[in-house]
């Protein structure tokens, strides 16, 4: 996947596998400037994992770039593991990583589910945050989960029809439970087709214009299993947080600098969620990209995210 306007490709100066408990081990890496401003990248999904291209949002001559894969995702092991996998545990994992790397405070950067986890972490540990850069806001409310499962057919009827093709008419009345059952089945002959179908659906809905490259990435076996399983797992458990808790507690972050970047035509995470967040957090800068959908790789979104990382150089 090639992207213009990003910083040059770099390799990590340090990486490792950090044991979290008897089940999970976290992949982490550091790149950029070892004594630079620490910035933490939180990937989407949940379960999507990170890629080398994510390092390129940040000036490697200024930032100490910390990227990791959340439980059950990417290079963390075991891939697609839902046992002991909850939002409070993901918050603890961030603290484990921060302490492991000897970081006092860091700037937090997250899009889609990454924005969810950034808010949840920040509201739990505001004293460990320098500020936030958030994109494609997802507050994981029941209405947003239902939109993802049903509402997207208003804009992507072909993708939705393909998504529900394996389901009976009765199962279509409860897509989440049906997919959850398929995705958790121990037989790869059952869970992998379901994971690829889920990944294709999300990939097809993530960009303003069709992007076969995005679809192929989301539907690839290494991404699809973590993505589909984790999303279904977190959605069916209402992300293990009280409904609307992220908005209700956002005043804990009012004193910290923040930028919210939102695509006007983001179908996966509609702009109403970003609007609700900004109304609850009016101190945050709010940037609407009028010619973009959901993906961080949309040209306008990418540009605004890099502008934000550059602007934070003078804020911190």
Those residues with Cβ within 8 angstroms of residue 112's Cβ, 6 or more apart along the chain or in another chain: 44, 45, 48, 135, 136, 138, 268, 269, 294
**Number of residues in the chain:** 316
Give how far Cα 159 sits from Cα of 19, 48, 70, 210, 269, Å.
38, 19, 27, 11, 16
Give burial (CB, 10 Å; 0-12/13-18/19+) of 68. buried
Q: Is 303 left (phi over 0), alpha (psi -120 to 50) or beta?
A: alpha
3-state DSSP: the chain helix, strand, coil percent, rounded to 5? Answer: 45, 15, 35
Q: 210 with 176: CB under 8 angstroms? A: no
Q: Enumerate the active-site residues.
A: 112, 266, 294
């Amino acid at each position: 996947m090639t992207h213009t306007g990003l910083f040059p490709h770099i390799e990590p100066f340090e990486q490792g596998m950090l044991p979290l408990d008897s089940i999970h081990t976290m992949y982490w890496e550091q790149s950029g400037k070892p004594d630079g401003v620490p910035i933490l990248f939180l990937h989407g999904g949940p379960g999507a994992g990170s890629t080398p291209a994510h390092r390129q949002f940040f000036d490697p001559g200024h930032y100490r770039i910390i990227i990791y894969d959340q439980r059950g995702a990417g290079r963390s092991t075991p891939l697609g593991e839902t046992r002991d996998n909850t939002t409070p545990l993901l918050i603890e994992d961030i603290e484990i990583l921060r302490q492991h790397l000897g970081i006092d405070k860091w700037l937090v950067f997250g899009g889609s589910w990454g924005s969810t986890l950034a808010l949840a972490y920040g509201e739990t540990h505001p004293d460990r945050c320098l500020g936030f850069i958030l994109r494609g806001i997802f507050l994981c409310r029941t209405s947003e989960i239902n939109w993802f499962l049903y509402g997207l057919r208003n804009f992507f009827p072909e993708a939705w029809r393909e998504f529900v093709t394996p389901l009976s008419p009765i199962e279509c009345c409860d897509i989440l439970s049906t997919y959850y059952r398929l995705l958790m089945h121990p037989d790869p002959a059952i869970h992998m087709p379901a994971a690829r179908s889920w990944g294709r659906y999300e990939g097809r809905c993530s960009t303003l214009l069709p992007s076969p490259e995005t679809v192929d990435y989301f539907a690839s076996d290494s991404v699809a299993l973590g993505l589909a399983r984790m999303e279904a797992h977190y959605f069916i458990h209402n992300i293990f947080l009280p409904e609307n808790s992220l908005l209700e507690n956002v005043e804990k972050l009012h004193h910290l600098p923040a930028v919210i970047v939102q695509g006007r035509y983001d179908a996966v995470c509609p702009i109403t969620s970003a609007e609700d967040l900004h109304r609850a957090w009016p101190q945050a800068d709010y940037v609407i990209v009028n010619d973009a959908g959901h993906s961080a790789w949309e040209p306008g979104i990418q540009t605004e995210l890099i502008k934000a990382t550059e602007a934070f150089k003078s804020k911190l």
